[in-house]
Amino acid sequence: VKAEVLFNKVAMRPGSVTTVAFADGKYLFGLSGNPSACFTGFELFVKPAVKHMCGALEVFPQIIKATLMEDFTKANPFTRFIRAKATLTSAGATVVPSGFNKSGAVVAIAHANCMVMLPGGSRGFKAGHTVDIILTESDAAEEELLL
């Protein structure tokens, strides 16, 4: 396939091997074979593109602030996306990693409703820090597109 590569590799974990190309009027998405990396690439790149192609007005996931309820001590040379479970209350949002956060841990995807977005260059985050979370479950687009 002769295609114009729009980008190949992204400075993020998991999902750094994500590729997007364009050929014959169609976008081609190359996602990692690793389940967690594939999920991250799909949520951040494929889902918004498909929503746009379907005519949705809201294509990007909602990003909100939340209080991290557990330490995440791993250093992050690149922006890291952690599968997590957010709880929204009148007092604000809290977030807890959804379990075993190794890249091949599919169960962490099943129990997640968001991804914690940890900026690169950090040495980890302690419980109580305010972090950005990307909500991955939303009925807004489905209702808008009548799906």
State the CATH number of the domain containing residue 126. Answer: 2.40.340.10
Virtual CA dihedral for 118, 123, 129, 132, nearest 10 degrees? -10
Q: What are phi and psi of 109, to 5 degrees?
A: -70, -45
Q: Is the pLDDT of residue 19 over 90?
A: yes
Q: Is the pLDDT of residue 101 over 70?
A: no
Looking at the DSSP assignment, which residues form a beta bridge with residue 72? 125
Range in 77-86, 111-120, 132-141 with the lowest mean pLDDT: 132-141
| Averaged pLDDT for residues 95-105 | 70
Nearest C-alpha neighbor of 122 from the set 69, 79, 64, 66:
79
At residue 65, the pLDDT reads 97
Residue 24, in any domain of the structure:
yes
Q: Give the Cα separation of 45 and 56 in Å (integer).
A: 15
Residue 140, in any domain of the structure:
yes
At residue 75, the pLDDT reads 81
Residue 29, in any domain of the structure:
yes
**Do 85 and 112 fall within a single domain?**
yes
At residue 133, the pLDDT reads 96
Nearest C-alpha neighbor of 74 from the set 3, 28, 125, 38:
125
**Is the model more confident about 139 or about 87?**
87
**Do 100 and 45 fall within a single domain?**
no
**Do 89 and 116 fall within a single domain?**
yes
Question: Domain span at residue 11?
Answer: 4-53
Say if residue 112 is exposed, middle or buried (CB neighbours under 10 Å; 0-12, 13-18, 19+): buried
**Do 13 and 79 fall within a single domain?**
no
User: pTM of this prediction?
Assistant: 0.83
Q: Please, how many CA atoms are within 13 Å of residue 34, restricted to the half-sphere of its CB?
A: 15
**Do 49 and 85 fall within a single domain?**
no
Last residue of a domain, one of 53, 73, 89: 53
Number of domains in the chain: 2
Residue 58, in any domain of the structure:
no
